């Protein structure tokens, strides 16, 4: 459990702390997929850009006819492997995008549930008055907004 969550005062019970920890772990999972998807997307665009530049400079600028350009392109097996590599990169981006969207949905669903059920987590009036300290800590330390349901 995160030290910041463990240090919460007596106004926050253990079940609430575990829910807060689960929320933090879901946020980190979402951030991890977001970062990985962005890196793969960047490397895919870089690889594709370099390959298109290669095609432009070494095939198109030779000034041959279109039939000779296609023959040159398809006669070299390395071109097939580069196209397959770019295809695998696109597939990985698509997979990570799916995983990122799924993790984002799980994170936001749990966050919205916590906002809706905050009166269950802090049922006593004295605890209810102190919940803003927990909300501020979650916003400051983990960038998780528990004040409103919307993003």
Give per-residue pLDDT as tens, 8-21: 877 788 999 999 99
Q: Closest Cα partner for 85 from 46, 134, 119? A: 46
Question: Average pLDDT, stretch 44-72?
Answer: 89
Taking a C-beta distance cutoff of 8 angstroms, is the pair 131, 14 a contact? no
Give per-residue pLDDT as tens, 91-102: 999 999 999 999
> Could you give the C-alpha distances from 85 to 20, 55, 68, in angstroms and in order?
41, 16, 24
Per-residue tokens: 129: 């008055």
Give per-residue pLDDT as tens, 108-146: 999 999 999 988 888 888 888 888 899 999 999 999 999
Q: What is the pTM of this model?
A: 0.87
């Amino acid at each position: 459990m995160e030290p910041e969550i463990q240090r919460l005062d007596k106004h926050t019970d253990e079940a609430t702390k575990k829910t807060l920890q689960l929320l933090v772990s879901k946020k980190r999972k979402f951030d991890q997929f977001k970062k990985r998807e962005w890196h793969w997307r960047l490397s895919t665009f870089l690889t594709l850009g370099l390959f298109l530049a290669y095609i432009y400079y070494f095939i198109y600028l030779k000034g041959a006819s279109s039939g000779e350009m296609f023959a040159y392109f398809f006669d070299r097996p390395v071109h097939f492997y580069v196209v397959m590599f770019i295809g695998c990169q696109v597939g990985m981006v698509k997979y990570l995008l799916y995983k990122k969207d799924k993790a984002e949905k799980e994170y936001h669903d749990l966050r919205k549930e916590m906002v809706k059920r905050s009166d269950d987590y802090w049922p006593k009036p004295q605890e209810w008055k102190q919940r803003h300290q927990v909300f501020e800590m979650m916003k400051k330390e983990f960038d998780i907004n528990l004040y409103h349901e919307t993003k």
